[in-house]
Amino acid sequence: MRTLTATHASRGFSDLLDAVEHGETIRITRAGHVVAELRPVVPATGRSLRDALSRVPALDDAFDDDVAAAASLLRADESDPWAGD
């Protein structure tokens, strides 16, 4: 990991992107504080989405009832503020 000032980063931005493209992480500072971090993007794939969704718990049998109960709390007598006159 490399750390650069904002001034140096702006002057050599193309070179920084090349370094990030090759796997390097770069921290950028302003007034001595880290304000940004450039790093390679982790590619998202259908497989990674499937893996993430497989870890989400299944909906329980009462889900439909919960939605219906929440919907019954809505009031139908409220006027639509966006309706035309």
CATH number of 2-38: 3.40.1620.10
Helix (H, G, I), strand (E, B) or coil at 60: coil
CA dist 57 and 39 (Å) reads 32
Mind listing the pLDDT tens digit for each residue in 29-49? 999 999 999 999 988 888 888
Mean predicted confidence (pLDDT) in 11-26: 94
- What local confidence, expressed as pLDDT, does residue 85 receive? 61
